[in-house]
Amino acid sequence: MINGELKRNIAGQITANGVTEVTLTVSTLEADSIIIVSLNTAAGTPNDVYVNSKDIATKTIGFKSVASNTSVYDVIVLA
């Protein structure tokens, strides 16, 4: 991050489906971006969501969780 500055970017929301990776496109995504995921609405069996992939070329982040988790999560990216 340049000169220690952080830009707050509320990237959007994802809905976990547990079976396949859920992707989110973030136009400000960089190699050193910090990704924060926070539960918005619990559904199914809420469980951890984790970053499964981060592709700087396509500006996408992929998330995964357990099969029974269908919760909605907010995603914030600090770039």
Domain total of the chain? 1
pLDDT tens figures, 33-66: 999 999 999 998 888 899 999 999 999 999 999 8
Q: Report the pLDDT value the prediction gives residue 2, as an integer from 0 to 100.
A: 52
pLDDT tens figures, 16-32: 997 899 999 999 899 99
In DSSP terms, which residues pair with 58 in a beta bridge? none
Those residues whose C-beta lies under 8 Å from the C-beta of residue 3, and which sit 6 or more positions away, are: none
Specify burial of residue 49 (Cβ count, 10 A radius: 0-12, 13-18, 19+).
buried
Full-model pTM: 0.84
Q: How many CB atoms lie within 10 A of CB 31?
A: 7
Residue span of the structural domain in which 16 resides: 2-78
Rounded to the nearest 5 percent, the helix, strand and coil shares of the chain are 5, 50, 45
